[in-house]
Amino acid sequence: LYQFEYDEKLKTEVDVQTKKAADRLLRVQQMSTQMVETLANAIDAKDKYTNSHSFRVSEYSVAIVKAMGWKDEDIETLRFEAMLHDVGKIGVPDIVLNKPGRLTDNEFVVIQSHTTIGGDILVNTTTMPGAEEVARHHHERYDGFGYPGKLKGDEIPLHARIVAIADAFDAMHSDRIYRKRLSREMIRQELIKGRGTQFDPEILDIFLKLYDSHQILSKDA
């Protein structure tokens, strides 16, 4: 009888500690989510013409990988990586980031530097090791003529190739300081033009299927 009572007490204590550990993990996860979202808001606040850009790019990226059949935990990881893809813009002067006219060559180099700045900021992020790669390489091109590393094809990390499409799409679908957003058909034409040159062709085909079936944006958007 004593042994039975002891075993039951021990089991109860284990259950209590397990629940406490699960509660702590949930709080840490919630805090991490809030921190990422807060940082994404800070990034978007730098540029008045890209309000909520980081969140939209995140959602478009998630739509792509859901269509690719990714596991839930991998989808959530990419969601946060995409939110932080432009974190390096924190280091870009507002006068350059919000310049209404054409950028000079030097100013364009400064804008491009947001990729290396972002990669350097996130390089030691052990909880999201892919975040550094996304921030650093989401402006690489599939043909090797992107920046900063001039990586080509599969040399570009997969997550960065996915976010690159979502990022370019949102740029075309948003009003910018130098132009209005493009029409639905113009966006489609630009995406197809970049197939195999700017974008991974297989991932782009998945995105276009979502776009054409209005799973990315509504019919009238």
Is 48 among the catalytic positions?
no
Candidates 46, 48, 66, 89; catalytic one = 89
H/E stretch holding 62: helix 53-67
Cβ neighbours of 36 (radius 10 Å): 21
* Radius of gyration, alpha carbons of the chain: 21
Taking the C-alpha atoms of residue 192 and residue 212, their distance in angstroms, rounded to an integer, is 12
Tell me 148's DSSP state: S
Catalytic residues: 89
